[in-house]
Structure 1
């Protein structure tokens, strides 16, 4: 009976071990940790990378993150800039691939306008409430 319970526990615990098999086993992309030879192009790449969000870390730029996905994104940025693409073209490609969330500099669009409007609305409502309170005290 004990063997049967142990076997059943092992069978039930096996799916918990499956995510370990999904770990990155590939080496990092060539330009993930290697700078471009041309200092001007590397400066363009660095300026762009600090404005792009790591999708795994979510609070770091891809320039600061050590996550494998951030390394892949750094490789893409450096490769595309070395190929002659403009940094804004690279940003547009990354936004089209990963969505607006990848950029720390969102563009005004139908899906991002609340990011710009809500803070202004909060300030206006707070100013109105403070003004009414001050007038009520007088």
Structure 2
């Protein structure tokens, strides 16, 4: 068995993305692990970059408040986000990746699968999949 030492937490533009931080903080405390908070830039649009930077700032504040070890990282992803996340996790020697559960909003998602399903099928490390709670505060 490998020790849980590094937890990858990808951050995107969605408001819900911060919901996984409280779970990541809990795991970091339980296992004395370091959080690798990864801003995933899939667009070069300045507004998109700004939103992710704001999300990263919120994640940093939550980690500081919880007094857990973390590193803020950023990556530009031009194509397959799932493959890019898995490659990044391997390179960073992450033992766990924490992601949000995506709803199947489109008919094609049922047949082709969401990013969550794709990550489940290709990830060599365990995934903690956090259900999306639809409320206005991530601090509850």
TM-score (norm 2): 0.26
TM-score (norm 1): 0.26
In terms of fraction of residues, the more helix-rich structure is 1
In terms of fraction of residues, the more strand-rich structure is 2
- Higher-RCO chain (CA-CA 8 Å, sequence separation at least 6): 2
Question: Which protein has the larger Cα radius of gyration, Structure 1 or Structure 2?
Answer: 1
